[in-house]
């Protein structure tokens, strides 16, 4: 049986996704060094805002980058005619395309970078929702879920840093507010949308980073820990009956 050729639009979008993802991955090369917003960019400079995870937590970007490249390559080479995969391409293309310029924007206009990362998140969420039924979750929904989960936390963190930097609320108030935003959004998505578990893993990783950065400060550690445990319980709730059955 001869396999039907893929629509030209499918192939074109698959190529464009690969180009956008690669541009996103290599963007640190042509962008200024970025290790968080420079405190001097704000009227109220804070060296280490409480909402910001420990530096090592950002290493998750290496996995996100590699997995997105694998997704784009596999999608082009093996799924360029797959309608399920194609449904994820437009939002992922737009999200990673915006991501390719995010570092440049962040080093000069933090408030605009905040708006940009929320738009990246919304587009990534759209792609993740479309990826749930695409097949081969390890290479389709998995990487998009990890990317979306991290953007969920990163968007709130970036917003918190900007609010603190512009004196719109105290550091603790803004930190607790943004932790609640992360918890509310991620729990709602997990409960209502049943995303890939990589989504929850990324959010929990970010919360662990916040806990580590605020070690010893119960005001931040306690809610961050509760939110991380709650998200884990909800994301893996379907395993509980199986575990109980094995125990019997």
Percent of the chain whose pLDDT exceeds 70: 92
Give one DSSP letter per residue of the chain, joined into a string: -PPPPPPHHHHHHHHHHHHHHHHHHHHHHHSPP-SS--GGGSSS--SS-TTSPPGGGGGHHHHHHHHHHHHHHHHHHH-TT-HHHHHHHHHHHHHHHHHTTHHHHHTT-HHHHHHHHHHHHHHHHHHHHHHTTSS-TTTTHHHHHHHHHHHHHHHHHHHHHHHHHTTSS-HHHHHHHHHHHHHHHHHHHHHHH---HHHHHHHHHHHHHHHHHTTT-HHHHHHHHHHHHHHHHHHTGGGHHHHHHHH-
> For the chain, which residues score pLDDT lower than 70?
1-6, 32-35, 240-248
The domain limits of the chain are 8-27+48-237
pLDDT in tens, 133-166: 888 889 999 999 999 999 999 999 999 999 999 9
Q: What is the pTM of this model?
A: 0.92
| Per-chain mean pLDDT for the chain | 91
In this predicted structure, what is the pLDDT of residue 3? 43
In this predicted structure, what is the pLDDT of residue 4? 46
């Amino acid at each position: 049986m001869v396999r039907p050729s893929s629509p030209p639009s499918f192939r074109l979008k698959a190529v464009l996704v690969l180009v956008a993802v690669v541009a996103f991955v290599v963007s640190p090369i042509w962008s200024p060094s970025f290790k968080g917003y420079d405190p001097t960019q704000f009227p109220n400079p804070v060296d280490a805002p409480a909402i910001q995870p420990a530096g090592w937590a950002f290493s998750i970007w290496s996995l996100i980058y590699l997995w997105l490249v694998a997704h784009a390559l596999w999608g082009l080479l093996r799924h360029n005619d797959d309608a399920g995969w194609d449904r994820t391409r437009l939002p992922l293309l737009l999200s990673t395309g915006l991501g390719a310029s995010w570092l440049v924007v962040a080093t000069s206009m933090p408030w605009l970078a905040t708006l940009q990362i929320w738009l990246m998140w919304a587009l990534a969420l759209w792609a993740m929702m479309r990826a749930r039924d695409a097949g081969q979750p390890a290479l389709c929904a998995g990487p998009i879920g990890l990317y979306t989960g991290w953007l969920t936390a990163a968007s709130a963190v970036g917003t918190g840093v900007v609010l603190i930097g512009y004196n719109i609320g105290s550091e603790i108030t803004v930190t607790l507010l943004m932790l609640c935003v992360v918890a509310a959004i991620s729990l709602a998505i997990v409960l209502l949308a049943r995303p890939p578990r990589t989504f929850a893993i990324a959010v929990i990783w970010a919360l662990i980073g916040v806990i580590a950065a605020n070690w010893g400060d119960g005001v931040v550690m306690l809610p961050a820990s509760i939110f991380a445990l709650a998200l884990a319980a909800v994301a893996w709730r379907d395993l509980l009956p199986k575990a109980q059955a094995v125990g019997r």
